[in-house]
Amino acid sequence: MADPDRTFIDLNGSSARFYLPVRPGFVQDGRLWNLDDFLSVPAAQIGQVFGIALDDGWPRTDPVHRSVPNVYLSATSVYGLNIVIPDSNGDGLPERVVVGQPGAYFMEGQFGTLTTPMGAVSGPGSIYKVDGVTGEVSLFANLAYRGVPNSGPGLGNITYDRQHRQLFVSDRDTGMIHRLDLDGNDLGIFDHGIQGRAAAGLPVVPFNPANRMNVNDPSFDAEDPGSWAFPVAARRIWGLAVHRSRLYYAVAEGPSIWSVGIDPVSGDFLDDARWELDLPPEASGAEVSDILFNRKGAMILAQRGAQLASYDYDRFSQPRRARVLRFWREQPDDPKTPGIWQPVPEEYAIGFRPDHRNAAGGVALYYGYTAKGQVGGCYGTLWATGDDLRVNRKLAADLALGGEAAVHGVQASPQNLVRNLNTPPWKSYFIDYDKIYGDPRMSGHVGDVETYHPCRAGGVPPVGWLPPFFFPPIFFPPSGGGSCIQVATKATCNPKTGQWDVNIWVNEGNSGLGADMLKVLSGTPGVTVQGGPMHSLNPANISLSGSAPSGVVDLSLCAFDSVQAATGQPFTCCRASTRVRLPEGGCGDGAASSTQNGHSPVLRESR
């Protein structure tokens, strides 16, 4: 076992990953889905992050990029707060310490290292932006209260208000909720401890400016979250969601859900805060870190186990205590109950460990999946992050048939299957965050998840839909403006061959084509597809050689079912084209760079 004293955050480790969950190719039957990420953001850039939000790409005006969203990631302390002192033994490494002392500082990789053009440096109050077109990561904002930066507890979650094109962020240092425009400007705060509680006739709990974290003081203990200067439960905020012109937010006390109105013109906070509901007593002890609403107005809440801190990076949250709950509004309102929500929620079974309460704090809605394992109707799947998702001693033999057990990542299940309709959750896909199937005793290494899934009224992706991949350099729709398949590509330079290795993903939506082969031809003179035109899906792996003076390469594609083709009878060939742009400098003898078009849940982990 590695010596914890000499174990540091992996600066090359991924703090945020982006996936393309288009076509698993098999039904939801509890199997592990070995899905590859297409973009990863390292801890060296952004440190540790939890919250995720996607905007709508505004203010882009060109028709190609108009709806390409950007991604926002918020700094966190949920994966521990590690401190060090300067090297004292001459080995060239700082020394890990547990208790605060003079000269101590946060370990590299705890918080990011990015700066703004004005010289601001990232830290515990930082929000990072991943550009949806270029994939570039930048420091978007540093939150502060009355000019004082976040002392270390970091931020909670972040959500996007589409109507007013603004962001709301919960601050775990002060208990405030900040409102930001899409230039990163702080437009104001909402203080639940004063404004929310006063509106409900409760005693106010003001911010205590003396309650500040100081890693140079012996009162700080890296293994005791109680020493990290979090606000008291009555004003400690985490999960956020905008629904019907109100901002819903989760308060640790209870835990409970509150809301405040959003001015329809200015987007500012209104003076109408109200209590919405308390979680049932059996769900106490775990804060609500994520909130979402389905199309019928039901509120879905994800809990995260109580904060833990392990010097050996083992556990960051109390395991097997966190639930995913669904509350429905009373129809009509029952005057005998204190609120407008049904007091008894439905619950989802998360993970195979009894009692199926292995949530890690993130939830999102995504397309449903067909019997052939392809994306189908809108909002049909609930994605929930969790720990040890395929661990169950009694079912170990059956689970082993579907892959690894100690999966720390995400569970994707039909949104309508609450307990006990999917308990244990066999009707699910499971994706591990980093494909390192570690100790099942670990907990709290994954966090939030978000998805991009534009839908039309009919409940399926729009015709010609090619959502973004948040990856460089540019997004091109298929020629003709539509296709029976959607295409995503990713290219990397192979320095050994001087060629571009290109991965091509195909999403056929709910067409029922069942393609497993792709014919790829170059439509650009001077550029050749190496190894012949036929390649298996998904992805198809090809190499391009040659050069294109025009700076772009056009590929002609034909997706088909090889079994159908082998019969010798006429078969369906779904045709499409895609364009890839050459990067400056080329790759050896020159070929194509990547165009990235896809839809992606975003997961994040500590290290």
Class of domain 481-581: mainly beta
Cis status, amide bond into 338, omega within 30 of 0: no
For residue 225, give every residue at least 6 positions away whose Cβ sits within 8 Å of its Cβ, in sequence order, or none.
307, 308, 309
pTM, 2 dp: 0.79
Q: What is the pLDDT of residue 470?
A: 31
Among 419, 286, 292, smallest CA distance to 351 is for 419
| 604: its two tokens | 């994040």
Strand partners, 527: 546
Quote the pLDDT of residue 88: 92
Residue 401 CB partners (closer than 8 Å, separation 6+): none
Token pair recorded at residue 423:
């308990």
Q: What pLDDT score was predicted for residue 386?
A: 96
Confidence class of residue 187 from pLDDT cuts 50, 70 and 90? very high
User: Across residues 357-385, what is the average pLDDT?
Assistant: 90
pLDDT in tens, 149-183: 999 999 999 999 999 999 999 999 999 999 999 99
pLDDT tens digit string along 102-126? 999 999 999 999 988 888 899 999 9
pLDDT of residue 330: 95
Stretch 36-44: mean pLDDT: 88
- Residue 400 phi/psi, 5° resolution? -60, -25
Q: What would the mean pLDDT of 230-248 be, rounded to a whole number?
A: 98
Structure tokens, 556: 């002609």
- As a whole number, mean pLDDT of residues 513-529 equals 83
Express each pLDDT in 532-552 by its tens digit.
888 887 788 888 887 766 667
Residue type, 435: K
Strand segments, DSSP code E, in 305-424 are 324-327, 346-348, 359-366, 381-386, 409-414
Residue 560's pLDDT is 81
Per domain, the residue ranges of the chain are 4-458+601-605, 481-581
CATH hierarchy code of domain 4-458+601-605: 2.120.10.30
Whole-angstrom CA distances from 278 to 206, 255, 337, 345 are 22, 6, 12, 11
Q: Which residue has the higher pLDDT, 160 or 589?
A: 160
The single residue listed with the structure tokens 């208990």 is 175
Rg (CA), the chain: 25
Q: Give which of 258, 282, 249, 267 is closest to 182, Cα–Cα.
A: 267
| CA 594/CA 133 separation, integer angstroms | 12
Distance from C-alpha of 547 to C-alpha of 159, rounded to nearest angstrom: 44
Confidence of residue 474 (pLDDT cuts 50, 70, 90): very low
Res. 65: pLDDT tops 70: no
Confirm if 432 and 409 have CB atoms less than 8 A apart: yes
